[in-house]
Amino acid sequence: MSDDANLIERFLEMLVAETGASQHTLSAYRTDLEQASGITGGLLSSADREMIRKLPSHWRRLKNSTVARKSSSLRRFFGFLVEEGFRENDPSDALPRPGLVRSLPKTLSHAEIALLFQLVAEGLGREPVKPSVVRLSAILELLYGSGLRASELVGLQRSSITGDKPYLIIKGKGEKERLVPISQQARIAVRRWGEFVDSKEKWLFPSRTGHISRIRLFQIIREHAVRAGISPVKISPHVLRHAFATHLLEGGADLRALQTLLGHSDISTTQIYTHIDSARLVELVNNRHPLSQLDLTR
């Protein structure tokens, strides 16, 4: 299998595991990427800006919406390659942006998050407690409480969390290490889960062949959402990460601090959350500004 074919498959696997992409979505991505790979002679994954700049010449007869989709597919693919360490730079800024409006990431409300944790708390309160519930508690605390990526969570080693250290040192995308704060509640949840894991195990969330896969993590989260009465379409490990970021920003977090917590190399990636928060800001102006309290019709 060529490098392009192999990396496209890994990219599509990531989409399923982290976002629950539908077969229709996967098919569209596959078509866009395989066509671009064919145009570049099978060198898409290693293409430089000059090569990428030539792609739009093959899209001249296409509608703007189709060009926008193809550009978006390639941008996400190159972002994946950089973040996973398969290449050092992202050449996708050479692609056209035909009236693109960047879509906002899905997130969950505070009430929906509360439902997820309430159901876990009920399970932890039963005797005997099920190991699967203890594991789920640790997973939710780390995904929503620390904003870990799915790949970072499943790849956590038992040694990642030791004693009462208020942080994790994890290796994120691109093999970059970063400090991730971990709450007291998360440490308790992880410590409790550790009692169910064989001390000889390397991974914090082991499986029969190593650690649990991103696809299995996705299934665990969705199954729990259904039990909590939340539409499974609305949730994935990545949505919990978005909720972590959105709710921190709503609580007054600084954008630079949020960038560090999420492990974004470029703050422009983090700035998408300012758009999510815009509705709250409009409400703030409408309800709290002095002029909103005045009756100017008199």
Count other C-beta atoms under 10 Å from residue 127's C-beta: 5
Say which of 69, 70, 135, 149 is annotated catalytic. Answer: 149
Nearest CA to 223 out of 237, 241, 212 is that of 237
Residue type, 56: P
Say which of 211, 238, 242, 247 is annotated catalytic. Answer: 238
**Residues 151, 168: contact at Cβ < 8 Å?**
no
Say which of 70, 135, 173, 247 is annotated catalytic. Answer: 173
Phi, psi of 261 (to 5 degrees): -65, -40
Q: How far is the C-alpha of 292 from the C-alpha of 117, rounded, in Å?
A: 37
- Location of structure tokens 């398969």: 86
Largest CA distance in the chain: 77
Say which of 70, 158, 241, 247 is annotated catalytic. Answer: 241
Phi, psi of 257 (to 5 degrees): -65, -40
Q: What's the chain's length in residues?
A: 298
165 is catalytic: no
Q: Is 161 exposed, middle or buried (0-12, 13-18, 19+ CB in 10 A)?
A: buried
Phi, psi of 8 (to 5 degrees): -65, -40
200 is catalytic: no
Nearest CA to 66 out of 55, 51, 77 is that of 55
24 is catalytic: no
Q: How many CA atoms lie less than 13 Å away from 93 in the CB half-sphere? A: 3
238 is catalytic: yes
273 is catalytic: yes
Active-site positions read: 149, 173, 238, 241, 264, 273
